Chains A and B, each alone.
Chain A
Amino acid sequence: MESKHTVSVLVDNEPGVLARVIGLISGRGYNIDSLSVAEVDAESHISRITFVTLGNEETINKMIAQLQKLIPVKKAINITLDKKGIEREMALVKVVATGDKRVESLRLSDAFRAKVIDTTHDSFVFELNGSPVKIDAFIDLMTPLGLSEISRTGVVAIARGSEKL
């Protein structure tokens, strides 16, 4: 059965490494729903790439095996499969509205613990952290209230407990 899987990949942060990872995924016919990447170990230059993709468990296993074949890839795991993964995403959401709709958007943002980081008389920019599902829900609620623009970071993920990737 196809479902969303979050995969974390630790790589040597060398030129072209992102292109290698992404090229492999697209070249073998897989899709990426979201992607985030940054260096996580400045001393030994290791980056963490997290992406969300659609597929069944077997497909994801094959994808991971292919990823591990890349020379700069140190580790790759399916965070979703371990069922211990914590997934978070950040979104910046611009809502343009006046009157009741403006008030309602502010009230709802409070319920979601979103922060107002910019405001004019007819707009807000909200900053929201949480699971992708929570962000989707917030966006759904904002749509009739004057949703104008969204920027999302893509999912970052980490496993619970003391174990290290």
Chain B
Amino acid sequence: MVSIQLTGAEMVLQAFEDHKVDTLFGYPGGAVLPIYDELAKGKNSIHHYLVRHEQGAAHAAEGYARSSGKVGVLLVTSGPGVTNAVTGLADAMMDSIPLVCISGQVPSHLIGTDAFQECDAVGITRPCTKHNWLVKDINDLSRILHEAFYVAASGRPGPVLVDIPKDIQFQTGTYIGPETIKHKSYRPKLKANIDKIDEALKLIISAKKPIFYTGGGVINSGNAAVQLLREFVRLTGFPITSTLQGLGAFPGDDNQFLGMLGMHGTYEANMAMHDCDLLINIGARFDDRITGKVDEFSPHSKKIHIDIDPSSINKTIKVDVPLVGDVAHVLEDAIKLWKSNVYKVDKISVKSWWGIIDNWRKTDSLSFAVDKKVIKPQYAIQRLYELTKDKDCYITTEVGQHQMWAAQHYKFNKPNRWITSGGLGTMGFGLPAAIGAQVAHPDKLVIDIAGEASILMCIQEMSTAIQHQLPVKVFIINNQYMGMVRQWQELLHDKRYSHSYTDALPDFVKLAEAYGAKGIRVQSPADLDKGIQEMIDYKGPVIFDCVVDQNENVYPMIPSGKAHNQMLLGKDNEDKEISLEGKTLV
């Protein structure tokens, strides 16, 4: 197809089809009625999932995108429709998730008049999208839609928004197919400079205490990147640690894997980061949760940084060898070069480095005291992992203590199985994200590991799960507190638990039943396995209320303003003073 005459609304659906979009999350409203009308005509094979709140649509699209590697698409109306979606767009921006958000806008002649349900959608979403467009001419629409999909998915992925006034949706114009459209100037660089790669390899062969530090960029780069990473890490025999977003790129139960690093990372991962002489960052961004105190971060190491986004280089941490490019491309070139030059690592030094690391491992920093009477939250996650590990599960989370325990105790062996809000830290993310992941993988077990506070932020999406027969499981680690807030208040604010206790929680079993789902409550460790099995076996959506110890904290922990080698390992050393400077950090 070169060009055909279509209405704006038809163009939107045609573009979806041309970009192989078969799934749409959305909520109708006045300014998108023409597009919804086209959906009703059923000429296209697009499955629309009706959410209960536009934030849910955005998170569902994120869950869909993260778990499938495809672009997530949402459709919302003007005004409140698009402002509700903003949190999801900002979340996708921070975690580099490709989304295309189509928003309706009031008719062109009403723009700027404070019309009913009007808002400056492109203005509001400008800082929280990778790019956005307000369509002013029907004949620009097809080009903009194709550019939108291109921009969202290429380079460092991210959310984009196309704001379409209602009159444009009705107008007829020329639709040009995607094959003839090329963006004017946006061409992300995929391959890194080969001399720079060689420079990096030379650092790798002379390293005595090296470590790989990998992030979400590996997952975003795709399956090839994951395979190449595994090959490269095995080729070198170096230890590897991962950020929250990178979990699953390297098998979580592999001996070379040190566990997650950062604020709640393992002792061995953080100590190795601190003491290493070579740090190889692949697709991570030196986030403040990772670095701790910047000027004491990995002070003795040379640093290599592979990132597709040039602005990530030297943003917070100065690096010695920047490699700007796509992870898969860079690793492919690196492995080729490695093999053709017959490079070898310093095996003796690396062996003694492993000796040091194995000693740190003995600290067993994720251990906790198991209790016979109350369920420890870590124990709940461990049991959930043990009972589901053979099922190729997709795990989403909300934000808080449960999220960190899930990251610590659930082992991921494959990419795209772990979907969590890392950058923005959005409570309410997990349930809609689970819905999105379930839509992408209808036959897989999808579990939202939740907290009782977070889950209430998007609980309305249970209704979506019921309507569309999506058997998501919500596993609530219920300690009645906003646990992470409570933990910080305990450690930093002399145990003044200001408004972090929820006094009037709903009965989650009855709540599940009210929605038409199954509710399960477990209060004793003895009943836990049976309850989890019941949840797994149930064919529809489940809310699992796992009542846990209210006082448990997430350890290990790097307190604010401290370096990696100043971790708190447990209750015993909680009384260390935290400076005022540290308290101001979040």
Contacts and interface: CB of A to CB of B under 8 A. Distances in A.
A binds B: yes
A99 interface: no
Given A62-B311, A69-B309, A23 B185 contact: no
A24 B310 CA distance: 16
Given A23-B126, A71-B131, A71-B151, A15 B311 contact: no
Interface string A1-24: 000000000001001100110011
Interface in A1-53: 12, 15-16, 19-20, 23-24, 27
A27 B127 contact: yes
B136 A71 contact: no
A74 B126 contact: no
Contacts of B136: 15
Nearest to B155: A69
B122 interface: yes
Contacts of A72: 131, 185
Contact of B313 (A19, A58, A65): A65
A15 B134 contact: yes
Contacts of B314: 58, 61-62
A119 interface: no
A16 B313 contact: no
Contacts of B151: 71
A61 B311 CA distance: 9
B310 A65 contact: yes
Nearest to B318: A58
A58 B313 CA distance: 12
A58 B318 CA distance: 10
Interface string B295-318: 000000000000001110111000
A69 B156 CA distance: 10
Question: How would you classify the secondary structure of chain A's contact residues: helix, strand, loop or mixed?
Answer: helix
B310 A23 contact: no
Interface in A51-98: 58, 61-62, 65-66, 68-72, 74
A6 to B, nearest CB: 20
Contact of A71 (B123, B186, B311, B313): B186
B127 A68 contact: no
Nearest to A73: B185
A54 B313 CA distance: 22
B499 interface: no
A19 B311 contact: no
Interface string B120-145: 00110011001100101000000000
B109 interface: no
Contacts of B131: 70-72
Contact of A68 (B126, B134, B183, B311): B311
A68 B313 CA distance: 13
A99 B488 CA distance: 72
Nearest to B150: A71
Given A16-B122, A69-B309, A71-B151, A23 B315 contact: no
B184 interface: yes
Give the size category of B's interface with A: 10 to 19
Contact of A12 (B122, B123, B185): B185
Contacts of A74: 185
A155 to B, nearest CB: 25
A62 B371 CA distance: 50
A30 to B, nearest CB: 14
Contacts of A20: 126
B150 to A, nearest CB: 10
A74 B187 CA distance: 10
B311 A65 contact: yes
A32 to B, nearest CB: 16
B311 A23 contact: no
Contacts of B186: 71
Nearest to A27: B127
B502 to A, nearest CB: 34
Contacts of A62: 311, 314-315
B262 to A, nearest CB: 22
A24 B126 CA distance: 9
Contacts of A69: 309-311
A20 B129 CA distance: 11
Contacts of A65: 310-311, 313, 315
A70 B310 CA distance: 12
Contacts of B126: 16, 19-20, 23
B265 to A, nearest CB: 26
Nearest to A10: B185
B162 to A, nearest CB: 13
Contacts of B184: 12
A54 B151 CA distance: 32
A153 B240 CA distance: 54
B134 A16 contact: yes
A98 B130 CA distance: 57
Interface in B311-355: 311, 313-315
Nearest to A26: B127
B128 to A, nearest CB: 10
B134 A23 contact: no
A10 to B, nearest CB: 10
A114 B136 CA distance: 45
Nearest to A69: B311
Contacts of B123: 19
Nearest to B156: A69
A27 B129 CA distance: 13
Specify which of B134, B185, B314 lies most central, judged by the most chain A CB atoms within 10 Å of its CB: B185
A23 B127 contact: yes
A61 B310 CA distance: 11
B140 to A, nearest CB: 10
Nearest to B184: A12
Nearest to A62: B315
A19 B186 CA distance: 19
Nearest to B312: A65
A16 B311 CA distance: 22
A74 B186 CA distance: 8
A124 B122 CA distance: 45
A41 to B, nearest CB: 12
B130 A66 contact: no
Please provide the 10 A-B residue pairs with the shortest distance between their CB atoms, ordered closest to farther: A65-B311, A71-B131, A69-B311, A66-B311, A71-B186, A74-B185, A27-B127, A65-B310, A23-B126, A71-B151
6 contacts: A19-B126, A20-B126, A27-B127, A61-B314, A65-B313, A69-B309
Interface of A: 12, 15-16, 19-20, 23-24, 27, 58, 61-62, 65-66, 68-72, 74
